[in-house]
Structure 1
Amino acid sequence: MATILLAAFAALPALALDQAGNGDFTLDDGAALHAADADKLSLLDLHVGAALREALSGGENGDVAQLVEALGGRPLPMSEARAALEGDWKCRMMKAGDLSPLVVYDDFDCRIRGNSFEKLSGSQRTRGTLHEDDGRVVYLGTGFVAGIDVPAYPDLPAAPLGSAASGQIWADIGIVEAVSDRKARIIFPDPDLESRMNLLFLTR
């Protein structure tokens, strides 16, 4: 099991980000992201590796098995991934590292329509857009507690956590990998809340 996780970790992509003149960074398709979020993506291997170490050493066996399942499978190339991602999904959040070695939640509902992604159920939601960068899919979104109105990612302040007048919002940055049209994952390095890595496992 550890060998499978290490192989998946070794295959994680490194992003090539270009810095814009205003201090933000841009993806290949021109989408801008804040410098702090660009740092998270550039240190993807560091954050995911640390999270997996905690998950393997302290997670419950059943939870670790689900994490292995979620990380298994080679991602489809970009030419196939976007079509495979389209539609409604069941999505299971896995949080690794920091507060707990590994926590696996029940299934929620998620939806991908074109370039838009949204987690539709659960108390913690996320809504954003999919972008292309160096042959892979990057998610730029806004995380929020259900029931509040939130800005899109481009309209977030540089430090959004705790900035909302009512409720709580944060930036959600991740790498999206489609294994098939029935299995995909979004890997969030160093999320603002509760963990060292979040992994949203999509199935249908």
Structure 2
Amino acid sequence: MKHLYSALMLLIVLVAPRAMAENYISDELFTYMHSGPGTQYRIIGSVDAGNKITVLSRDRDAGYTQVVDSRGRKGWVKSDYVTTQPGLKERLPALEAELKRVKSALASAQDDAKAQQKGLVESLAKRNEQISKLEAHSSDLNKKLIEAQSEIRALRAKIDTQKDDLLMRWFTYGGMVAGGGLLFGLVLPHLIPRKKRRRDGWA
């Protein structure tokens, strides 16, 4: 009966860890494993930081947890050193994989940013070229407009001068006609012979 009980307990110890959640020794150098929940109990070994353990029970008053380590040893360690977070050794591969993924995503984002920047630079260069052409065309139009305005002013001045000349000619012609008429009026009586009066008083 005693052997049967011992075999049953051994089976429970071997099977129970697989059904329980995984725990770890926190990232200290190592922690001692005692035969009971306290430093007054015999040290039966040590557990390195980051090693997987299986929690069997906890003594909250003593602050110790009964565990089975990866080598199958059963003992008690301080509860402060037991954590549900994997140690650095366990997390390092996952962290390296995550770092690699982030670097790859960053490189891809940088490539996309460079491509977009290149496209923006090319687009900006084309727009600057178009603006330069428009500015040159606008400058030519302004130059032609100034020349046309100067030509219009010159033509208007010429027209005004011609009007003045024409008006002066009309005044001159009018004066000449008036003077000629006056002169003709003065000369005409002398050109027409007068009839001599008869001495008897009859015309």
Q: TM-score, length-normalised on structure 2?
A: 0.21
Query: Which of the pair has more CA radius of gyration?
Result: 2
* Structure with bigger RCO (C-alpha 8 Å, 6+ apart): 1
Whose strand proportion is higher, 1 or 2? 1
Greater helix share, structure number: 2
